[in-house]
Structure 1
C-alpha cells in the first residue's frame, strides 16, 4: 500500500502541547508527544508511536511526558513504565538507547529492560505548522524521490510572508474528492457566489497544465472574483497557479487584481481517515493583507463551510479514476486540471479514496 509509505499530516503543531495526544492514521492508533529541547542549539523533537504500552496494552496517550535528567521519557498511565525519547541514555552505563526503549520499571527499579520491551516508533517531523508521520519506509521502486519528504511549501519558510494554520476540518468524503474540489475554478460562481465568484462571470481561463514525475501543476489560470481575499473591497480577475506535489495535498498561489498589493498562497494538506473520510488543514501565507489572523481564519472557515455540503453530497465519495470502476463521470473543458490529477493518482497506484 503506497499510502503507508507517504508522509501525512496528523495534527497542527500548535495543538500538540506538554501532554501526549492521540491520533489515528490509516487505521493505526498513534500517540504524539514532543521532547523538549535540552539546550538552545537543538529544536524540540516530535515523536509518533503506536498508542499502546507493550506491557499491558494501555493507551500511552493517557500518560505524561517526563523531562528526565538522562533524556525525555513518555510514562505509561497504568504502571508508570518509562520509554525513551531520542536523547535518552541508560543512567548506569551512559550508552544511548533506541527510541521507544523502556528505561525504567518503577515496580522493579533494579530491573534492566531488554530491547524487546519497547514501544513501536514511526518517523515524525514538523513542517508548515503541522506534524507529519510516515508509517513505512518508502520502496524507491514505487515511491518517486519527490515523495520521500513532506510536500514543499516555500512561502512557509520565508519570514517575509505572514503564516497561519486553519482547521482542522473533518469531512465525510475521500481525500482525493477534496483535493479535486480545491483545484476546481469553475464552481466558484455557484458554490461561492458573492465571495470567490459570480454567476454572471462564470467563465474561467484554465491556463496551462503540466504533468510530470514531480506531480501536476497549472499555470496562468484566472477567475473573476467579487471578493478574492478577506480584506478585498471590490471584484476583479485573479490569477491562480496550482501545484499538486502529493496525492493528498495541493498548493495555490493567488495574485490579486492589477495594482493591488495583496498576494496569498494556500496549501491544502489532508490526512486520509479512510476511503470516505478525511481531515484537512489550510496552511496560509499572505503578503500585504491587512486583515488580522482571526479575520483570515473566519474567511477561510466561511469558504470551506460553503464547500462542505457539496463535497459531502458527491456520489460516490471515492474518486472514480479506474476504467473498471463502473461509474462514469463526464468532463468539460474546465476540468483539465482535475483530469490531470486523476491521471497522477493512477500513475502512482493510489488505492485509498479512489475507485
Structure 2
C-alpha cells in the first residue's frame, strides 16, 4: 500500500474534452483506476477495487488523488482571464521519473542545444543571474527575473526576442511557466506541465496553455508545443539515474541549475519522494 505525502496530492488523469460515459482505464502511482463521465455529466474516478476517488475538473483536465488531499488544487488566475485561448495539448508518455519530467521543464540551459533555433541558439547560450526562492506563504518554488534570447519564443512570434521567464512549482509533479507574450509584450503567456505518475519511472505528461494569440490555428498551437516536448523526451528517457537524485552530492549543479536545486530541496523537505532516489548508488 502506498504511503507518504505524495499520495494525498492532486494528479491529472485525462482531458475533460475526451471524457465519456464509456470511460478510460489508466494508472496512478502503480494503481489501476478508471475515469468516466457520470450520469450527471461530471467526471468520476474509481480504483480497480471500486473505491470512489475525489475528483476536480479544472484547467481542461480531470484531477484525482489516491489519498485525501488536505488542500484545494493550486490556482492559476490566468485561466479565468478574458482574451486568452485555453489549449489542451494532449498527452505524451515518457519513460522517466515524474519528478525528472518537472525538473527538465525548469531547465533553461538546454534551450540552445535541444530546442535549437526555436527556444535558443548559439552563441546565445549563457544563463544570466536570476532569482530563486521558496515562497513560504504559498509553499511554492519560484524562479524570477529570467531572461533568454529565443529565435521563436512562441508559435505567434515573428522574430527572435529576449524573453522574460518566471517558473513556479505549486505541486510536486506540476510546473507553471510564465513567459513574454509576443502579441502582447506587457502580458504573460502561461504554459504548464501537469504530470501523471504512472510508476516511479514512467509518467504521462499533459501540457496545457493559456495564451494571447488570436490568429494561430488551434492545431498549430498544439503541434508547436508537442514538437517542443518531444524534443525533450529523448533526453529524459536517457538520463541516468532514471529516478531524480535528492542527495546533493550525486550531481554537481551550476549557476543555471538554481531552480533545480531549490526544487529538489523542496521535494526533500516535504518527503515528496515518489520517483526520487534518496541515496547515491
Deviation at 1:351, TM superposition (A): 1.6
- For 1:158 and 1:24, the matched residues in 2 are separated by 33
TM-score, normalised relative to structure 2: 0.91
* RMSD value, Cα: 1.9
Question: What secondary structure does 2:123 align onto?
Answer: helix
Deviation at 1:292, TM superposition (A): 1.3
- For 1:155 and 1:248, the matched residues in 2 are separated by 20
Is the counterpart of residue 224 in structure 1 residue 152 in structure 2? Answer: no
Question: What secondary structure does 2:113 align onto?
Answer: helix
Corresponding residue for 2:103?
A: 180
- For 1:257 and 1:33, the matched residues in 2 are separated by 38
- For 1:341 and 1:289, the matched residues in 2 are separated by 34
- For 1:223 and 1:256, the matched residues in 2 are separated by 14
Corresponding residue for 1:10?
A: 13
Corresponding residue for 1:49?
A: 46
- For 2:143 and 2:159, the matched residues in 1 are separated by 26
Relative contact order: is structure 1 or structure 2 higher (C-alpha 8 Å, sep ≥ 6)? Answer: 2
Is the counterpart of residue 345 in structure 1 residue 264 in structure 2? Answer: no
Deviation at 1:158, TM superposition (A): 2.4
Corresponding residue for 1:252?
A: 177
Gap change, CA 1:256 and 1:287, over 3 Å in 2: closer
> Relative to structure 2, which stretch is displaced further, 231-240 or 158-167?
158-167
Corresponding residue for 1:34?
A: 37
- For 2:235 and 2:200, the matched residues in 1 are separated by 18
TM-score, normalised relative to structure 1: 0.73
> Relative to structure 2, which stretch is displaced further, 332-341 or 203-212?
203-212
Contact persistence 1:231–1:289 (CA under 8 A): no
Deviation at 1:263, TM superposition (A): 4.2
Gaps of 5+ in 2: none
Gap change, CA 1:330 and 1:20, over 3 Å in 2: same
Write the mapping of 1:1-355 to structure 2, written as runs, cut at 5 A: 1-37=4-40, 44-52=41-49, 119-138=50-69, 148-213=71-136, 214-256=139-181, 260=185, 263-288=188-213, 290-322=215-247, 328-355=250-277
Deviation at 1:289, TM superposition (A): 5.0
Deviation at 1:259, TM superposition (A): 7.3
Question: What secondary structure does 1:304 align onto?
Answer: helix
Question: What secondary structure does 2:53 align onto?
Answer: strand
Runs of 4+ in structure 1 off by over 2 angstroms are 157-160, 256-263
- For 2:15 and 2:183, the matched residues in 1 are separated by 34
- For 1:207 and 1:123, the matched residues in 2 are separated by 38
Summarize deviations over 1:269-301 as a string: whole Å, max 9, x none: 000111111111111011135211101011011
- For 2:99 and 2:207, the matched residues in 1 are separated by 15
Contact persistence 1:201–1:224 (CA under 8 A): yes
